[in-house]
Amino acid sequence: MLKYEEIAHKISNLLENEVYSAGDRLPNIEHLKTEYHVSKSTVIKALEILEKNGYIYQSRGSGIFVRSPKREGYINLFTSNGFTEDLKNHEITSRVIEVCEIAKPDAVVRKQLHLTEEEAVYYVKRIRYIDQAVLCIEEAYFSRKLVPYMSGEIAKGSIFKYIEENLKINIGYSDIYFHVDTLNEEEAAILNQSSGAPTLRYEQVFYTKTGVPFDYSQIVFEKTNAKFYIPSIK
Amino acid sequence: MLKYEEIAHKISNLLENEVYSAGDRLPNIEHLKTEYHVSKSTVIKALEILEKNGYIYQSRGSGIFVRSPKREGYINLFTSNGFTEDLKNHEITSRVIEVCEIAKPDAVVRKQLHLTEEEAVYYVKRIRYIDQAVLCIEEAYFSRKLVPYMSGEIAKGSIFKYIEENLKINIGYSDIYFHVDTLNEEEAAILNQSSGAPTLRYEQVFYTKTGVPFDYSQIVFEKTNAKFYIPSIK
């Protein structure tokens, strides 16, 4: 764990144990720096992590405020960490349906991943579960340029962990688009629901820290088990 | 328009006119400071606005990158500005169904707005339209402590504009929770759909810059017209 992650962890523990509660003002950066014997930039980075995860709100001029704790089991859509990371207190598992290389992906995929007609992708289709209940059907397309190897074994676990730790890709940001829709017959059969049942139809493009798209995912969420949270700011 | 808003506006124009396009690296802060003849803190504030709106991604050490432009007509859920502000290129109108004072709001509302049993709220129920098509049914509860006056006239327009400009409340952040659900009979009648049709059921609590909740809203979105976007980061 890096120093700033450690400080973020220490402060989030104080919040979880209600040493500070919603609406409280945290000590300022100078104070935190002294308290934890770290540099100002370490404190700033720690506060950034806490802000993204909805623990705090930093108001220019007014201070650092404690936010209401996130409800249990909701997926934070503001942090692009993948569900495995986001739902740490839950068991996230996957059943791999298909892993293959597509030499000529269709125009939609090419556009989202900024690929030429000659560039290949890996296609991974999985059903993902939260505490053994079905969470979603996920179809992901990985740019072969950035992800030169993929397998069923890798797809069984956290693909993001593999991408970060083995491929050394620095994940930067993602664009999320979604709307409400109904399940088609094939999706309904997989999700054990009736065709026409409500769903959240969701697309996400992940980029590296230097703005290169490497993963385009289309996800269909199960109605009851998928619940979402966004720590929004003005 | 404040200086930093002006700079943000100038840069976003460059992006909209494709002087810079997705994946490009913007000039660094020092360069922007010189180019626009403003202070470093003005540049930093301008970049913050651009980041929230999904125009750019700021990577520590690697620079400032241009993001793919948001698709038209999607609501950015990361900025708590209200739909009027967020869907500027569209006509957002409201039909007011009810405005009233509730002396003793129920426990759910009291909890979200941190109210005692003695504290009243304003209840505002509206149907909101995007380009004359129905967008959602919105039920909002405003803490009387912070919003001492509300009327049908105010509710017809942008309540947030009223809150900021007339009541001088500084809006800080909001918590959003949502899941997919089906419409009940009453909602379906209002949205001109059949009972059981899919919908996004959405809750949002807005806070001031100093962490005081002032608005708790429950929203039911129409399936086809409500589309959402989140500029997410790692």
Residue B212 has what pLDDT?
95
ipTM for this model: 0.93
In chain A, residues with a C-beta closer than 8 Å to the C-beta of B178 are 227-228
Quote the CA–CA distance of B39 and A155 in Å, as a whole number: 48
Query: Which pLDDT does position B82 carry in this prediction?
Result: 73
A160 Cα to chain B: minimum distance (Å): 11
Mean pLDDT, rounded, of chain A: 93
pLDDT (average), residues B149-178 = 95
Residue in chain B lying closest to A160 (CA): B234
What's the CA gap between B35 and B27, in Å, rounded? 10
Per-residue pLDDT band at B61 (split at 50, 70, 90): confident
pLDDT tens, residue by residue, A97-108: 999 999 999 999
Residue A148 pLDDT: 96
Quick check: helix, strand or coil at residue A106? coil
How many A-B residue pairs are in contact by the CB < 8 A criterion?
184
- Reply yes or no on whether the pLDDT at B178 is more than 90: yes
Least confident of A120-124, A207-211, B67-71, B168-172: B67-71
Q: Which of A205-219, B59-73, B172-186 has the lowest mean pLDDT?
A: B59-73
Tokens (6 digits) for B182: 């089906």
Q: What is the pLDDT of residue A104?
A: 96
Interface contact flag, A233 B173, Cβ < 8 Å: yes
Across B35-58, average pLDDT: 94
Is residue B86's pLDDT more than 80? no
Q: Do A176 and B74 touch (CB under 8 A)?
A: no
Give the C-alpha separation, B196 to A67, whole Å.
Answer: 35
Q: What is the least distance, in Å, from the CA of A223 to any CA of chain B?
A: 5
pLDDT at residue B89 in the model: 82
Q: Report CB contact under 8 Å: B228, A178.
A: yes
Q: Per residue in B214-225, pLDDT tens?
A: 999 999 999 999
CB contact under 8 Å between A57 and B207, yes or no, is yes
The shortest CB-CB distance from A81 to any of B211, B231, B234 is to: B234
- Taking the CA of residue A221 and the nearest CA in chain B, the distance in Å comes to 9
Contact list, B205 vs chain A (CB under 8 Å): 68
Instruction: Please report residues of A whose CB lies closer than 8 A to that of B223.
Output: 179-181
Specify the 3-state DSSP secondary structure of A180: strand
Regarding predicted confidence, which is higher, B109 or B70? B109
Q: Are A199 and A180 in contact (CB under 8 A)?
A: yes
Nearest CA to B99 out of B147, B144, B154 is that of B154
Put simply, the answer to whether B210 touches A22 (Cβ < 8 Å) is no
Q: Which of B52, B134, B219, B233 to mutate to test the interface with A (most CBs of A within 10 A)?
A: B233
- Domains of chain B as residue ranges with CATH: 3-66 (1.10.10.10), 75-229 (3.40.1410.10)
Going by pLDDT thresholds of 50, 70 and 90, the confidence category of residue A3 is very high
Tell me the per-residue pLDDT of A46-70, one tens digit each, with 9 for 90 and over. Answer: 999 999 889 999 988 889 999 998 8
Alpha helices per DSSP H over chain B: 3-16, 29-36, 40-52, 83-86, 107-112, 152-156, 159-165, 185-191
Residues of chain B positioned with their CB less than 8 A from the CB of A66: 211
pLDDT tens-digit series, residues A132-190: 999 999 999 999 999 999 999 999 999 999 999 999 999 999 999 999 999 999 999 99
Residue B168 has pLDDT above 80, yes or no: yes
Q: Inspect the interface and report whether the beta carbons of B234 and A66 lie closer than 8 Å.
A: no
**Residue B223: predicted pLDDT:** 92
How much is the pLDDT for A72? 86
Cβ-contact A187, A203 below 8 angstroms: no
Residues of A in contact with B227 (CB under 8 A): 177-179
CB A179 to CB B209 under 8 A? Answer: no
Quick: pLDDT tens for B193-203.
999 999 999 99
Q: What pLDDT was estimated at residue B60?
A: 81
Backbone angles phi, psi at B56, to 5 degrees: -135, 165
Q: What φ, ψ does residue B192 adopt, rounded to 5°?
A: 60, 40
Nearest to A71 among B23, B65, B177 (CB): B177
Nearest to A217 by CA among A53, A52, A83, A78: A83
- pLDDT, position B105: 97
Q: Which of B54, B59, B182 sits opposite A172 (nearest CB)?
A: B59
- At A89 the pLDDT is 82
Percentage of chain B beyond pLDDT 90 is: 85
Confidence of residue A214 (pLDDT cuts 50, 70, 90): very high
Alpha-carbon distance B136 to nearest alpha carbon in chain A (angstroms) = 13
Coil, strand or helix at A50: helix
Nearest to A4 by CA among A34, A61, A48: A48
- The minimal CB distance from A177 to the residues B171, B209, B229 is found for B229
pLDDT over threshold 80, residue B176: yes
Average pLDDT of chain B is 93
Check pLDDT > 80 for residue A229: yes
Lowest mean pLDDT, pick from A79-88, A206-215, B194-203: A79-88
